């Protein structure tokens, strides 16, 4: 009887271990399937984020190029047009021109309201000549220096 217990007990323990290994193997398979799905989702999300980042970089490059054109071409051309205008080229007027890709800013002061309007018109002629869609923000004040 003792011999039967010694033989049966290890046999039962082995069966329990084998059953446990089967459960562990199934669990490992399920974990691997879950991990594969999670990695796939993460890769898709990373791909979408990369596409968004690339689009933003492209937009930033366009903006920077537009700003460079505005500062290197439009601003000096508008300033030259204002200087060449005999009505605006008066030492009592001070007209500063700055620009970015979307807007040309006229700042400073002029002696009367008609000069403020004339500065806008001169700037618009230059924008039209360069086929620019930039807007003009006329922030010139009338009067004082």
pLDDT in tens, 42-69: 777 777 777 776 666 655 555 555 555 5
Q: pLDDT class for 107, splitting at 50, 70, 90? A: very high
30-34, 69-73, 99-103: least confidently modelled range: 69-73
- pLDDT higher at 109 or 39: 109
Sheet holding 103-110, edge to edge: 94-99, 103-110, 135-142
Domain that residue 137 falls in: 2-142
Q: Which of 15-24, 28-37, 123-132 has the highest mean pLDDT?
A: 123-132
Are 104 and 136 in contact by the 8 Å Cβ rule? The answer is: yes
81 vs 47 pLDDT, higher one: 81
pTM, whole model, 2 decimals?
0.54
The CA distance from 15 to 23, in Å, is 12
Would you say 77 and 39 are in contact if contact means Cβ atoms under 8 Å apart? no
pLDDT(40) > 60: yes
Predicted pLDDT of residue 93? 94
Most trustworthy range by pLDDT among 3-12, 19-28, 100-109: 100-109
pLDDT confidence tier of residue 112, bands split at 50, 70 and 90 = very high
Q: What is the pLDDT of residue 71?
A: 64
Give how many domains the chain has, as a whole number.
1
């Amino acid at each position: 009887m003792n011999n039967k217990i010694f033989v049966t007990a290890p046999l039962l323990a082995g069966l329990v271990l084998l059953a446990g290994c089967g459960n562990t193997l199934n669990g490992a398979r399920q974990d691997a399937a879950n991990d594969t799905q999670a990695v796939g989702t993460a890769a898709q999300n990373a791909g979408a984020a990369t596409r968004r980042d690339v689009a933003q970089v492209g937009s930033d490059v366009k903006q920077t190029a537009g700003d460079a054109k505005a500062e290197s071409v439009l601003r000096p051309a508008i300033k030259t047009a204002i200087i060449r205008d005999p009505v605006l080229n008066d030492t009592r007027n001070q007209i500063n021109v700055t620009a970015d890709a979307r807007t040309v800013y006229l700042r400073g002061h002029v002696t009367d309201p008609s000069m403020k309007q004339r500065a806008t018109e001169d700037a618009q002629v230059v924008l039209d000549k360069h086929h620019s869609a930039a807007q003009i923000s006329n922030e010139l004040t009338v009067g004082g220096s």
